[in-house]
């Protein structure tokens, strides 16, 4: 299943009113950059490790980050607590074919409070770290860090949705 199909699954349920719908953007530029740095670090230290093998199994290090994003999107779509949470992917700047998606995301962020989710890939492990930032509409920089966590995609999806839904009233305040 490709990432666009997974996004449709993640968006299938929830309130019709965008103001009531928590929105989480996967931070593609961060996620892919972090994966690249993690693979460079691993490959420079121990080229025979499981982590190094995982990095080499992808055509480029960005693909490791994209694979982690896809796992998280799938886990968010499958998690019942995530019903009503809208999940969108911000493309990496190198993904020129997604320029329209990026423009649409910027327009949505400009008028709606949202969360930015950063994923910290750990090559060779099913566990990864993540950080969730709250943003007010029209503001590019984080308002505050809502939560940091770590776990599998499924564990992380559960905690992310609990925190996003519990914090919606805070972010929607004027």
Q: Note the pLDDT of residue 137.
A: 84
What are the angstrom distances between the C-alpha of 89 and each of 48, 50, 58?
Answer: 33, 28, 20
**How many Cβ atoms from other residues are within 10 Å of residue 131's Cβ?**
17
Query: Is 18 part of a structural domain of the chain?
Result: no
Q: Note the pLDDT of residue 106.
A: 85
Q: Note the pLDDT of residue 99.
A: 64
Query: Is 15 part of a structural domain of the chain?
Result: no
Query: Is 158 part of a structural domain of the chain?
Result: yes
Q: How many domains would you assign to the chain?
A: 1
Q: Note the pLDDT of residue 118.
A: 96
Query: Is 110 part of a structural domain of the chain?
Result: yes
Query: Is 111 part of a structural domain of the chain?
Result: yes
Q: Note the pLDDT of residue 142.
A: 60
Beta strands across the sheet bearing 128-135:
86-90, 23-27, 114-120, 128-135, 144-151
Listed in sequence order, the DSSP H helices in 79-152 are: 99-111
Number of H helices, E strands in the chain: 6, 5
Query: Is 103 part of a structural domain of the chain?
Result: yes
Torsion 9-12-18-20 (CA) sign: negative
Q: In this structure, are residues 43 and 55 in contact, taking their beta carbons and an 8 Å threshold? A: yes
Query: Is 17 part of a structural domain of the chain?
Result: no
- Domain enclosing residue 55, as ranges: 3-10+23-172
Q: Note the pLDDT of residue 126.
A: 95
Q: In this structure, are residues 47 and 16 in contact, taking their beta carbons and an 8 Å threshold? A: no
Query: Is 90 part of a structural domain of the chain?
Result: yes
Q: Model pTM?
A: 0.81
Q: Along the 174 residues of the chain, how does pLDDT read in single tens digits?
A: 443 433 433 333 333 344 468 899 999 889 999 999 999 999 998 778 999 999 999 998 889 999 999 999 999 999 999 999 999 988 777 765 666 767 888 888 888 888 999 999 999 999 999 999 988 888 666 676 678 999 999 999 999 999 998 875 454 433
């Amino acid at each position: 299943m490709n990432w666009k199909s997974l996004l449709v699954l993640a968006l299938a349920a929830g309130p019709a009113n965008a103001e009531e719908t928590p929105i989480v953007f996967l931070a593609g530029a961060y996620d892919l950059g972090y994966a690249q740095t993690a693979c460079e670090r691993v490959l420079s230290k121990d080229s025979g490790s499981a982590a190094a093998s995982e990095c080499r199994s992808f055509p480029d290090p960005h693909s490791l980050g994209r694979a982690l994003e896809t796992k998280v999107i799938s886990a968010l779509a499958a998690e019942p607590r995530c019903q009503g949470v809208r999940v969108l992917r911000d493309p990496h700047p190198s993904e020129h074919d997604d320029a329209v998606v990026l423009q649409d995301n910027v327009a949505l962020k400009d008028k709606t409070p949202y969360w930015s989710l950063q994923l910290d890939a750990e090559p060779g492990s099913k566990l990864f770290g993540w950080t969730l930032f709250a943003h007010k509409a029209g503001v590019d920089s984080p308002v505050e860090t809502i939560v940091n966590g770590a776990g599998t995609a499924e564990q992380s999806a559960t905690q992310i949705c609990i925190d996003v839904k519990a914090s919606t009233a805070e972010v929607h305040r004027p």
